[in-house]
Chains A and B, each alone.
Chain A
Amino acid sequence: MLDPVVHAQLAAILPPEALLTAAEDTKPYECDGLTLFREVPVAVVLPETEAQVVAILKACHIARLPVVARGAGTSLSGGSTPDRNGIVLSLAKFRRIIAIDALARTAVVQPGVRNLAISEAAAAYGLYYAPDPSSQIACSIGGNVAENAGGVHCLKYGLTVHNVRRVRGVLITGDVVEFGGDSLDSAGYDLLALVHGSEGLLAVITEITVKLTPKPLLAQVALAAFADVEAAGAAVGAIIGAGIIPAGLEMMDQAATRAVEQFVHANYPLDAAAVLLVESDGTPEEVAAEMAEIRRVLTASGATEIRVSKDEPQRLLYWSGRKAAFPAVGRLSPDYYCIDGTIPRKALPRVLRAIAAWSEEFGLPCANVFHAGDGNLHPLILFDANMPGHSEKTMEFGDRILELCIEVGGTITGEHGVGLEKLNGMCVQFEAAELERFHGVKAAFDPLGLLNPGKAIPLLQRCAEMGRMHVHHGALPHPDLPRF
C-alpha cells in the first residue's frame, strides 16, 4: 500500500495516468527478463520531465521509500525487479533524441530511447552507435548504461562505458548531477565510469550523450568451421595474438549451429564441431588486407572450411544465426539456463573442455554461443524443469562453470549484470576489502540505500554466512527476442 501522504505528493507531481497504484496496473512491472523473481511494487510512476523525476525522488527520500528505476525491462539478472515496499520509476516516456551533432559525432538522448533507434537516427549522417547488445531492438540506452552493456561489436569498438561522454542523473536527494563532459576527458574522479554498470543504485539517469562512430565503408564476415571445439577456441587466441582486432569474433558450437539452422537456414556447416564468425570492417583495401590475414590465421589454426560473405545480404545471413541462437535453442528444450561468465581468452580451450566434460557428467546438453573475442561465454544449459532433479543439476552445472571462470581470472558476469541473480557469486569473486569499497561508493551517493535496494552488491554478512556459491536460474520472457 502506498502511504496516503506520499500518494498525495506523487499525485500533485504527476498526471493521473502517470501514477499507477491498482494491482492490475502495477502487475505488468512485477519482473524483468529474469522471471524467476517477481515482486509487485506499491506504485509505478511514469514521469515525462526531469523536474518530475527530481520531485518524485525528493518525496521518496523524505518518506524513505525505495525506488527502482526501469527502462525497457529486458534485464537478464533481475536488475529492475521491483521492491515490494517501494515504487518503480519507469523512464519509458523519456524517449526523445534531443540532438545529433555530426561534427562532434555525438548524440544527446533521453534514457528511454531504444539502442537501435539511436543508430537509425544517426544513419542520415553516416554514423551509428557502436555497442549492440543482441536485444538492441528493445533495450533502452539508460538500461545499457546501468548495466554497461556489451554486444558483438564491443571487441573493436568498446563497451557502453567507452561510448558515452556524459550522463546526467538525479540523486536520491533530488540533486541533479552531471558525470563526464563533452570533451574526451574530464577532471577529477571518474564518476562517469562509476555510473556505468551501477545497476540503478547510484542515480536515476535522465540524459545521456553518446559517441557516434562513422559507418565503415565495407564489412565482411568470415565463417570458419572447425573439427573440434578446442581448436576453434585456440584460433580465437591466435587471431588476437596476431594483432588483429576484428569488428566481431563470435563462436557457436555444433549444438548451437544445429539449433539455429532449422530456424534461419543460413547454410551453416552442420558437421563442424564449432563455427567462428570473424568480421572485418573499414575501407575496401583495409578489409581485403585484414581478411587475407584472418584467412591465414584460421587456416593455420586448423579450420576445415572458410567462407567469406560476398555481399551484405550474405553477411547478414551469416550473422542471423548467431543473433537468433537463443530463440532457436529455446525451441529445442522446455527450459534453458544462460551463463554470462567471462574469462581471459587464453583460458578458452580449458574452460570449453571442462564444460563438455560436465555436460556428459550431468547428462545435460549444453549449447555454447559466445562473444569469443571478449572471452564472454554464454553456455546454454538445456533442461526440463518438470523432470525431477533437473533444475538442481542445472544449477550445480552453472555454479561449476562460474567458479571455473573466477578461478582462471575471469568474472561471473560479462554484460548481464549482478542484479538479484548473482549476489552470491559476488561473494566468491570479491574479497571483503573490495566489497567494503563498493559499499563506500554506494554510501557516498545514497547513504540511506533507497535506490534499487538489495541488488548488485551483497551485504558483507550475506557473504560471511554463505558457505559456497549458489546461483539461481530463470527462464526468459519474450523468447523470440534476439539476445546476447
Chain B
Amino acid sequence: MVTLKVNGKPIEVNAALDTPLLWLLRDYLQLTATKFGCGAGHCGVCSVMVNDTLVRSCTVTLSSLDNAEVVTLEGLESDPVVSLITAAWIAEQVPQCGYCAPGMIMATTALLRRTPHPNDIEIDNAITNLCRCGSYPRVRKAIHRAAAAAP
C-alpha cells in the first residue's frame, strides 16, 4: 500500500510497485490530461509535478511515491501561473493536434515558477517536450507572452 496525495487529495493505492505514475493517474484515478507517448521519458506528454519538481510520469514508479505530492494539469485549474500560460496558448493559437499541450503546459509552469522571465536559451533548455505537429515557434511565443503578462 502506497499513500500519496494527488491534486491535494490523499490516495491509498494497492497496485504493483512497478506501476508508473502515468498509469496510476490514467487508469486508476481517471486523470486523462496526462498523456501516454513513449513510455521511456523521451517525449514529455506525461509531464506532471512530484513534490514541486517536474517529472515525466512514465518513468516514476509507485515504489518511489510514498508520501509524495503529485499535481497534474487537472489540479492546476486555478493556479495563477497556469492561467496565464493557457491564456497565452490560446492567444498564440499554439496547439494543432493538441496531444502534447498538457505536457508542454506543465513544463512551462515549472519553467516560469523558477524563471519568471526566461530568455530564449532558458526556454530551449527547459522545454524538451516533443511536438510532432511542429507547434514549437508558437510555444516559444506563448511562453514569452505568459511571462510578459505575469505581475
> Do A and B interact with each other, yes or no?
no
